[in-house]
């Protein structure tokens, strides 16, 4: 299987900064506590015989949450809103964990609703090396919507560009937040993928049999049809 390498920028990083973990180790609490069906984890059906499955039953959601690796904060960070909408921040220890960028850097980038307009950045203390033709997508930790910030996405060709980076991953802080972001908080998700050239097409009748076959197969199960018949388990170690 392909191997992803996380290379420490320096001795301090190696000793004090947590390496990105498989994302499966950081499943959000709301998901862990959710019922698979409306009231419990026991199958339930409505009057028409359809299962009352919740988001906990949705395998694409699980695959999103557990895809790739997650970098967590390696130190406590304290955020406080100062005068004129400015933000002060400090961290307890270790290498630089965050920074900020001047407003001109955003150009026409829209601030996400409910967030302070100032752009901040996470550091990437671990350089990433992937096999040839594999790159990494950086995104906000998926379905961790309760975090007091939103990280913005980006793609790095980590087969060629093997470098850590300060002020590397942009993020915005939610309005009204003052408080502690504790060590161990998910910062961003790293998803390796193979880079290939693609083309697209528009079809109808030639592929209709495949669509119908899929429909009939999924309808043969009361619930978990996608998981039982089509899903390929993804693994990141």
Q: Tell me: the pLDDT tens digits for 52-79?
A: 899 999 999 999 999 999 999 999 999 9
Q: Which CATH architecture has domain 5-22+66-194?
A: Distorted Sandwich (2.70)
Q: Are 134 and 194 a contacting pair, CB within 8 Å?
A: yes
Which parts of the chain sit beneath pLDDT 50?
Answer: none
What are 165's strand-pairing partners? 124
Reported as type and span, the H/E element at residue 15 is helix 11-16
Q: Among 20, 234, 60, which residue's Cα sits nearest to residue 143? A: 60
| Number of H-type helices and E-type strands within the chain | 5, 14
The CA–CA distances, whole Å, from 229 to 200, 220, 226 equal 26, 10, 5
What are 122's strand-pairing partners? 98, 169
Task: Look at residue 147 in the predicted model and tell me its pLDDT.
Answer: 98
Q: Are 9 and 74 a contacting pair, CB within 8 Å?
A: no
């Amino acid at each position: 299987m392909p191997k992803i390498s996380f290379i420490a920028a320096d001795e301090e990083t190696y000793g004090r900064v947590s390496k990105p973990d498989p994302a499966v180790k950081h499943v959000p609490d709301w998901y862990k506590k959710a019922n698979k069906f409306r009231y419990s984890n026991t199958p339930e059906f409505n009057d028409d015989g359809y299962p009352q499955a919740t988001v906990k039953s949705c395998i694409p959601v699980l695959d999103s949450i557990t895809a790739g690796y997650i970098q967590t904060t390696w130190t406590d960070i304290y955020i406080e809103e100062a005068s004129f909408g400015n933000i002060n921040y400090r961290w307890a220890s270790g290498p630089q964990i965050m920074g900020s960028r001047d407003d001109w850097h955003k150009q026409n980038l829209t601030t996400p609703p409910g967030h302070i307009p100032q752009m901040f950045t996470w550091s990437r203390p671990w350089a990433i090396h992937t096999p040839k033709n594999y790159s990494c997508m950086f995104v906000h930790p998926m379905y961790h919507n309760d975090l007091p910030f939103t990280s913005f996405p980006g793609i790095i060709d980590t087969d060629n560009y093997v470098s850590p980076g300060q002020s590397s991953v942009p993020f915005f802080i939610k309005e009204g937040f003052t408080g502690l972001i504790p060590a161990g908080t998910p910062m961003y998700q790293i998803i390796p993928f193979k880079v290939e050239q693609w083309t697209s097409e528009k079809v109808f009748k030639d592929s209709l049999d495949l669509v119908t076959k899929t429909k009939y197969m999924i309808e043969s199960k009361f619930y978990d049809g996608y998981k039982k018949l089509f899903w390929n388990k993804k693994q990141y170690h």
